[in-house]
Homo-oligomer: A and B are copies of this chain.
Amino acid sequence: MINYPTKKTPKQNVHQTQASVKNRGMRFEKLIDEANRYYVDRDIAVIHKKPIPIQIVKVHYPKRTLARIDEAYYKTPSTTDYNGIFQQYYIDFDVKETSAKTSFPLKNIHEHQIAHLKSIHHHGGIAFLLIHLKQPDETYLLGYETLQAFLKRAETGRKSITFSELRQKGYAIKEGFQPRMDYLKAVSAYIKDKTTL
């Protein structure tokens, strides 16, 4: 758990978080989680990360109130990691990050995630990916329809989305303050385009 900044200045927060996050690859997810806490606290949206599914094998009960899990294994999730409600819409997405320098490899997206996003899209939900490019340090929302078009192309052609394609087809998310990764602005623009086009 990172502490949600309430009384500190934004500059301090950035510093603090960068120092405390050992795994650099986790930073993007933590920013999304921080934004979600901000949205829930301000009643802007209710979006949560789902817990990682665990197969519990052995549990020890030293006392009635305290259970310790002694043996468990990670399970493969059947959905994406994030869902919730915003502007009355069902929102569903996954978070991706790449260290690649020119294009986002589609193999980063798992079969079950694609199937789930497709199903959500079909049911009228807002389905997308949030993609962080580490090297240029840029973040984009990629709507399901666009993702689908790139997956279609990958059947016979290029198996990745070039950064310039992402810049063109995605919704840019600028890093700022309070919350630092204010991705709902991009979601809002995406919903607007979906509902007016």
Contact = CB atoms under 8 A, between A and B. Distances in A.
Interface stretch (A15-23, A44-52, A175-183): A44-52
Given A46-B116, A123-B46, A74 B69 contact: yes
Nearest to A86: B123
Chain A: interface size category: 35 or more
B125 A85 contact: yes
A79 B48 contact: yes
Interface string A122-157: 111100000000000000000000000000000000
B79 A85 contact: no
Interface string A83-110: 1111011101000000000000000000
Interface in A11-30: none
Contacts of A124: 85, 88
A43 interface: yes
A71 B73 contact: no
A5 interface: no
A29 to B, nearest CB: 16
Report the 8 A-B pairs with minimum CB-CB distance, sorted nearest first: A88-B124, A51-B53, A69-B72, A90-B90, A85-B90, A51-B51, A85-B123, A85-B125
A5 to B, nearest CB: 19
A40 interface: yes
A119 interface: yes
A68 interface: yes
